[in-house]
């Protein structure tokens, strides 16, 4: 059964976002110009709001309309949830132009994401198989430091992004794909790292896969 039109799911989600934002029902009605009886009916799962009202609530809470429509376990758990942006794609193979436009958002429960230091990217290509596959979503912490052996998002030539295991030494860095037949190790000496440049812009913290 689709969650669209499910009164109880909508009621649970509105209650959860009201609690999360520290707003009372009276605040909510006053701020959005809703009648209290109408909102009470939503919260008691008696009626379902129109799409324009859902959009107005989503904008008020700073969320997507789907966050109100769809069923979420956290709406009952009380666990804080944070949104992080999906900012395009990254190639597991030959680097491509980095894409920075926000295409969507995902929800995570990691409190570290509260400061905006995380983003997500879709993987394309096969050089990181079997650990990472085409279509996987990698969750990345923004950072330019890393330990040798970390899996990182790397910019090459300033505007080309790739996901690779990165080894570093006094001589330079080596980008390694788990599928060497697709992507043999690429070594960049210290001068190339500086002049191209080759720059780490994030460390992969998690991989999500849909089946």
DSSP state string for 66-114? HHHHS--THHHH----EEEEEEEEEESSS-EE---S--EEEEE--GGGG
Bridging pattern class, strands 82-91 and 118-124: parallel
Of 89, 127, 165, 203, catalytic: 127
Q: Is 164 tagged catalytic?
A: yes
Q: Is 127 tagged catalytic?
A: yes
Q: Which whole-number Å values give the CA distances from 151 to 58, 84, 105, 118, 140, in the listed order?
A: 35, 20, 22, 15, 10
Active site amino acids: 127, 164
């Amino acid at each position: 059964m689709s969650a669209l039109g499910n009164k109880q799911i909508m009621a649970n989600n509105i209650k959860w976002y009201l609690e999360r934002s520290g707003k009372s029902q009276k605040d909510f009605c006053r701020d959005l110009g809703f009648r209290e009886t109408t909102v009470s009916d939503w919260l008691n799962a008696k009626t379902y709001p129109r799409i324009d009202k859902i959009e107005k609530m989503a904008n008020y809470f700073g969320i997507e309309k789907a966050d109100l429509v769809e069923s979420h376990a956290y709406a009952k758990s009380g666990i804080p949830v944070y949104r992080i942006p999906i900012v395009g794609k990254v190639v597991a193979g030959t680097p491509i132009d980095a894409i920075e436009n926000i295409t969507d958002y995902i929800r995570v429960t990691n409190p570290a994401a509260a400061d905006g230091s995380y983003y997500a990217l879709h993987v394309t290509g096969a050089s990181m198989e079997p650990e990472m596959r085409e279509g996987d979503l990698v969750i990345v912490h923004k950072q330019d430091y890393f330990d040798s052996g970390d899996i990182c998002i790397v910019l090459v030539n300033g505007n080309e992004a790739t996901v690779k295991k990165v080894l570093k030494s006094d001589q330079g860095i080596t980008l390694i794909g788990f599928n060497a037949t697709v992507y043999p190790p690429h070594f960049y000496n210290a001068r190339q790292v500086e002049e191209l440049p080759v720059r780490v812009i994030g460390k992969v913290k998690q991989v999500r896969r849909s089946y």
